[in-house]
Amino acid sequence: RRKFGPLGWCVPYEYNDGDLNACLTFLEKHLYGGPISWPTLQYMVGQCQYGGKITDELDGRLFRAYAEAWLGPGTLAPSFTFNPEAPLVRLPGDFRYAVPDCQEVDEYKAFAASFPSVDSPEVFGLHPNADLTFRNKEVHQLLRTITETQPKQGGGGGGRSKEDQVRDKATELLRLMPEDYAEDEYLSALEAMGGLGVPLNIFLMQEVQRLQAVIAKVRTMLAVVLQAIRGEVVVTADLMDAINSLFDARVPKQWMYSPAGDEISWLSPTLGLWFNGLTLRDEQDRTWLQRAPNCFWLAGFFNPQGFLTAVQQEVTRAHKADGWSLDGVVLHTEVTEFAAADAVRAPAREGVFAHGLSLDGARWSRPEQTLVESAPKQLFAPLPVVFVTAVTKAHKKNMSGDYGPYGGYECPVYKYPSRTDRYLVFMVTLASRDHRPSHWVLRGAALLLTVD
C-alpha cells in the first residue's frame, strides 16, 4: 500500500522479514499450547509485532482491520482467496490470490512466478482509482524534479527576461492584494456582535490577526522584490528564492513558513491556488465581521480545531442550566441534505453548518444518505453541508443514529491530503448501509479540507 501514498498508509512504515519471522515464531510456539486462539494471534500480529512499529492511530486501525479480515478460521478454508468478493474491475488475467497447498517446493515457485506483474489495488482493499492516485503522485514528483533542476538563467534568445516576468507578476499581485485590517475597525465590529465574551468572536479575532500578518508579509515582500529588480536593495538568498518561486509560479517559502519552520499560512502547490485562497479567506472574514454566515467554509480557517472548540464552548454555555461542562461534551456531526453552502438559508439554531469537505476513497450518495464506492476515475467527491454541534458524552454513547445495519464509519478529516496527526482536524461519523465500516477502513476513505 505504500506506493499509493497517504491513501495507503498515513505514515510509510518499513516492514521487513524480521517482523514476519517474529510472527511465525510466535504462531509456532502458540500452536504447541493447544488450539489456536485467533483473537490472541490478531492481537500479537496487529498490535505487537507489526503494530509495534505503527505510530499513527488510524494506521493502527487499518492494520487491525487487516488482522480481523485475514487472520481467522476462514483463512484455512480451501476456498479462501484474497480476491475481493465482487471486484469493480477485472483482475489481470483473472488471477486467483489463493493459499496454495502443494507438496513440492517447485510447485510453490511456479505459483509465485504466475503472479501478475502489477497487482490490482482491490487485492489490498483499495478502490481501483488508487492506481490513478499512484500515477498522479509519480507524475507530480517527476514534474517537480524537472522544475527544480532546470536552469534559472535565460538563454541568449529574444523574448521577455525573467526579471521582466517577475516584475509584472509582482505588480499584478500587489494590485490584487486585499486591504489591510484596521484593528479599531474589526474590534468595533466584534463588539457589535457581542464582544469578546463570545467564543466564536474570540476565534474570529484571532483569524483576522493571523490573516493580517500574512497580508502584511506578502505585501512587504512583493514591494522588496520590485526594489531588488530595480537594483535599489541587495538581493539576499531568501529574496532570490522568492524571485525564483514567483518565476516558476510557486509559493515563496517565506509566505507559508516562519524562519523556525512553523506553518504561518496554508500550503498550496501553485501560486495561483495560494493567492485564490488568500482572497477567499479575506472574503469570509470580512463577511463574518458584518454578520455571521449561515454556513462556514472550514478550509478557510488557520485553526479549524479552534473553530470547533469555540462551537463546543458556545453549545455548552447554552446548556449551562442543564449542568453541561466543556470537558463533558464531544462533537456530533450529521450530513445534511444541503448540496452546497448557497442552499443554507438560515444559520443553525445550535451548532454550525460547515462546507468545503471532499471525500477521498469513497463518495456520498445523497438519495440513499450513505457512503458508496467512488465513481470510476474520480478521485475526490464533494460531501454535502455538514451540521456540527456538541452533545454530552453520555448522550453520544446512547445515540444510535441512522447509520445503517453495521453502524457508522468514523471518518477522519484532514486539513491537507498529507494524512498525519499534525493535520488531523476531527472525526465525522458517516452512514454505511451497504458495507461494514472495516470496508471503508481498507479503502482508506477520509475527508479532506483541500485536495490540492
CATH number of the CATH domain containing 384:
3.10.490.20
Please check the confidence at residue 280 and state whether its pLDDT lies above 60.
Answer: yes
Measured from the Cβ of residue 135, the count of other Cβ atoms closer than 10 Å reads: 10
Chain position carrying cell 464531544: 330
Per-residue pLDDT, averaged over 336-345, amounts to 93
Domain membership of residue 148 (yes or no) is no
Question: Nearest CA to 82 among 95, 73, 64, 92?
Answer: 95
Confidence tier at 140 by pLDDT (50, 70, 90): confident
Of 292, 318, 353, the domain-final residue: 292
On whether both 307 and 418 belong to a single domain, the answer is yes
Query: Is residue 62 within 8 Å of 69, Cβ to Cβ?
Result: no
On whether both 116 and 249 belong to a single domain, the answer is no
Domain membership of residue 141 (yes or no) is no
Could you report the per-residue pLDDT of 43-58, keeping only the tens digit for each? Answer: 999 999 998 899 999 9
On whether both 310 and 285 belong to a single domain, the answer is no
Of 292, 307, 337, the domain-final residue: 292
Longest dimension (CA), the chain: 84
Of 255, 273, 292, the domain-final residue: 292
Evaluated on CA atoms 424, 429, 430, 435, the torsion sign reads positive
On whether both 175 and 193 belong to a single domain, the answer is yes
Per-residue pLDDT, averaged over 245-271, amounts to 93
Per-residue pLDDT, averaged over 79-92, amounts to 88
Phi-psi region of 91 (alpha: psi -120 to 50; beta: other; left: phi over 0): beta
Domain membership of residue 281 (yes or no) is yes
Please check the confidence at residue 433 and state whether its pLDDT lies above 80.
Answer: yes
C-alpha span between 326 and 314 (Å, rounded): 10
Domain membership of residue 143 (yes or no) is no
**Distance from CA of residue 126 to its chain's centroid?**
17
| pLDDT: which is higher, 65 or 158 | 65
Q: What confidence score (pLDDT) does residue 332 get?
A: 92
Residue 414: strand, helix, or coil:
strand
| Contacts for 159 with CB less than 8 Å, ≥ 6 apart | none
Confidence tier at 400 by pLDDT (50, 70, 90): low
On whether both 307 and 419 belong to a single domain, the answer is yes
Q: What angle do CA 38, 42, 48 make, to 5 degrees?
A: 140
Q: Where are the alpha helices (DSSP H) in 158-198?
A: 162-176, 183-192
Domain membership of residue 80 (yes or no) is yes
Cα separation of the two ends of the chain: 21
Please check the confidence at residue 397 and state whether its pLDDT lies above 80.
Answer: no
On whether both 303 and 423 belong to a single domain, the answer is yes
Please check the confidence at residue 107 and state whether its pLDDT lies above 80.
Answer: yes
Chain position carrying cell 479567506: 281
Please check the confidence at residue 218 and state whether its pLDDT lies above 80.
Answer: yes
Q: Which three cell numbers stand for residue 332?
A: 456530533
Q: Which secondary-structure segment (H or E) carries 355?
A: strand 352-355
Q: What confidence score (pLDDT) does residue 157 get?
A: 55
Query: Is residue 438 within 8 Å of 68, Cβ to Cβ?
Result: yes
Over its C-alpha atoms, the chain yields an Rg (Å, rounded) of 27
Q: What confidence score (pLDDT) does residue 401 get?
A: 63
On whether both 364 and 318 belong to a single domain, the answer is yes
Chain position carrying cell 505585501: 219
On whether both 358 and 387 belong to a single domain, the answer is yes
Q: What confidence score (pLDDT) does residue 402 get?
A: 75
Q: What confidence score (pLDDT) does residue 437 get?
A: 94
Q: What percent of the chain shows pLDDT beyond 90?
A: 76
Number of domains in the chain: 3
Residue type, 362: A
Mean per-residue pLDDT over the chain, rounded: 92
Whole-model pTM over 0.75: yes
Confidence tier at 118 by pLDDT (50, 70, 90): confident
Residue 56 sits in a domain of what CATH number?
Answer: 1.10.8.720
C-alpha span between 271 and 288 (Å, rounded): 26
Q: What percent of the chain shows pLDDT beyond 70?
A: 98
Domain membership of residue 155 (yes or no) is no
Residue 196: strand, helix, or coil:
helix
Domain membership of residue 429 (yes or no) is yes
Could you report the per-residue pLDDT of 285-322, keeping only the tens digit for each? Answer: 999 999 999 999 999 999 999 999 999 999 999 999 98
Domain ranges, residue 116? 2-131
On whether both 257 and 298 belong to a single domain, the answer is no
Domain membership of residue 15 (yes or no) is yes
Cα distances from 140 to residues 7, 12, 147, 247, in angstroms, run 16, 19, 10, 19
**Distance from CA of residue 105 to its chain's centroid?**
45
Per-residue pLDDT, averaged over 80-100, amounts to 88
On whether both 407 and 260 belong to a single domain, the answer is no
Please check the confidence at residue 198 and state whether its pLDDT lies above 70.
Answer: yes
Q: What confidence score (pLDDT) does residue 162 get?
A: 87
On whether both 250 and 382 belong to a single domain, the answer is no
On whether both 272 and 300 belong to a single domain, the answer is no
Per-residue pLDDT, averaged over 3-15, amounts to 91
Confidence tier at 34 by pLDDT (50, 70, 90): confident
